[in-house]
Structure 1
Amino acid sequence: MLSTSDYLDEEELWTAMFADESLPASHPSPPHLAHRLASDACKDEDPSLWLQVMQVADLGASSSPFPPHPASDSMFTGPLTLPMHPSGGSLSKPAIRHDGLLVVGSEASPNDSFATEHGLFLSNFRSPDNGFVPLRHAVRDLQWVEPHAIVLAVGKDLQVLRVGTTAAECHLEAPITMTHSNLIRELAVCPAHPRQVLSGGFDETVCMTDLDRADVVLKFDARDVVSSLRWIPDGTAHRVSWTTDGGAFSMADIRVKSASGQLNVASPSLFRFEVTGGLYAHEYVSEHDVVLAYEKGHLAFLDIRKLPAHNACHLMVHSPLCTVGEVRKSLCGDVALFGLGGFAIADLSRASCSTRCAFEFYPVFMDPTRKTSGDFAIDNVTLLAVSDSAGLVSVYDMQTLRGVDDTFAL
């Protein structure tokens, strides 16, 4: 918890944040994997197709909590694809664990012939275990709090899902209400204090909630619909940032309970971006370097220590995707871009050096109308789960995606 001594005045805040002494082209590569039959043709909604994929996805029961990998001569290329939504409807970002547990939210649709409710699909790609938890509202985001708990954005409320080893052992806690006045769009869990969660969305506010107390601790005025949230990775867990659809990038210190603790940058006007469209996501490449992802596929790289100066943006590139809606980074530094038309793995390890930037993209292309979302496993940086608007969740091996290994092993 924060004490009175933790709070800074405005001069101390920006002196510490932007002290001078702290300052220090690519063409899309062909994908190194092929999608399964269902991943390419799921929009046809052929029932026999779903049965084929389920037969592949069902690995059978095992006495071991971690089923053994297939023999080397039976390994295959491509993802393991599971049809989660019975009518191929939209899914939320998935959450995955190395033991095979997979959790993803579904959204009800008036055109759904299966009358699927809002809720959570619980499955396991290592065993024939599955379940469904109905909800009153759709899940727009979910994040791991710890290996046995996931926080959910359900409508305008937060809820915690207690996760066991099987679908039957998962249960929902009571919702935390009065957090927002409209739908929550994005969540971010504090890495140092995982029971502190940021949330933002369509009510144009950013809230910090203490899950243990079931109470909102802080609230910031974002002045626009919030598109993404992050904790700045400076080791203090004191600073946060967010983006808005209209193009604003903002930073705030949670120890300052007034607007003086915020820095708001209107990126299109400051950096003279005329063709980028809305600002949908951001992610930190390092403690001081952030990448902003835009509606029309552009990526802008900023040194936050130089803000609000124009030279804070030292590079802008176009990603392989038509639209970038999400950017996720693994604990080992891999970056995944999600949006319309597929997703891409990006090597941004040298993006923080403005004099010798180099990028490599490993795209996986899909139907241009299909929207993707995804994240890395909480306990295994080699596993990536990707959901899409066709009702599929695919599990990828990162070494295969990067082209390091031609085999696929979970």
Structure 2
Amino acid sequence: MNLTDIGMGRPSRRRLLGIGGSALSLLLAACGGEAAPAAAPAKADPTKAPAAAAATTAPAPTAAAAAAAPTKAPAPAAAAAPVTIEILTRDGVEAPTGHSQFFNNQAKKNFTPDSKITVQFVDAKPNVGEKLFVLAAANTLPDGSWFGVVADGENGREQAQKGIFKPLDDLIKQDSRFEKGIYFKSFMDVLAVAGKQYAVPIHTHYGTNVLYYNKNLTDAAGVKIPDDGSWTIDEFIEIAKKLTKKEADQWGYWPVTAGMFSEFGAFNVRQFGGEYFDEEGKKLLIDTPESRAGLEWIHSSIYKHLLIDDPNRKIEGAPLGLTGQRGLFAMGKLAMHNTTPGLVAEYKKPGTTEVNFPVGIALFPKGKDGKRGTQASGSGMGLTKVDKQAAVWEWLKFVSNK
């Protein structure tokens, strides 16, 4: 079943459980081994050539000895001459608020001046996953690329299996300056396939348990949302009901049931003490009472409590062309939605054009067992061509460091 099948009709309890299992296979298929590219000499530390031995009065060397003597110092692995590499990344390279603006700015200010390596970004539209497949088919791959796990095309692992990404293991082993151990092992595992490392971490999504709410709507309804998350899931439902006004096309809460359900679904089942798999990733736990309770809560919020009119609602006319929960929220018609902490900066930045009302930020309420569901995921960057792999490796180290 495709992850987006839930968007093609009423998601019954059975469908939610099926979708949850399908989504899990996508999210936790990611928990594989580690991976590696064609071996390439790591960039050598440009030290001085070995000093020549001091002259002595010893007899002149024989012809054989002269032939054995080194004539020059070994050349460094990475060429000192300026080089340009192409990196496929998320869209918005030039846009002031685009996803890739950070990479673009950092490359120009802090990477190129020191490395003499110019990074030319390739803007990915419609998303990285689709564009990389097209470039591979046309034999026009960039030198490196975003490795999609959840955001912008969930195809990184598949593309590694197809040989589009090259393993990095030899580069990692040969470079004493790269400390693989500083990253969470689980995150590195997500960027690996069949025991080989195909990408290094560049960003992560921490939790979908941050709640954003429209303060104008909560004030009008006379409800108070505790900013510290000291409330329960039952209290959340009651507040969402008060914020739902069907006749005004105003809705209390819209749970995620498609697209990134693999990420949000993990959050929902953990709200009720459930899990997708056991700790070893070998036993499926989606049908346990706890996991079922989390998925059934999503179903009830839509069809029992009627907090949203249509889980497949199409959004048109939202600011910046936004869709889904974020689009309806920006239009002032959705009182609350939850996602990662990533929107804090967007909603709170001066001059934001996404919302024209004050946004409150709180922790999602605790579940039945007093715990709060959470999860983490992320994406990386990897090598897709070996022609300039020494230069690409320098970029990968730069973009994944502190």
Which interval holds the TM-score relative to the shorter structure? under 0.3
- Could you say which structure has the larger radius of gyration? 2
Structure that is richer in strand per residue = 1
Structure that is richer in helix per residue = 2
**What TM-score results when the alignment is normalised by the length of structure 1?**
0.25
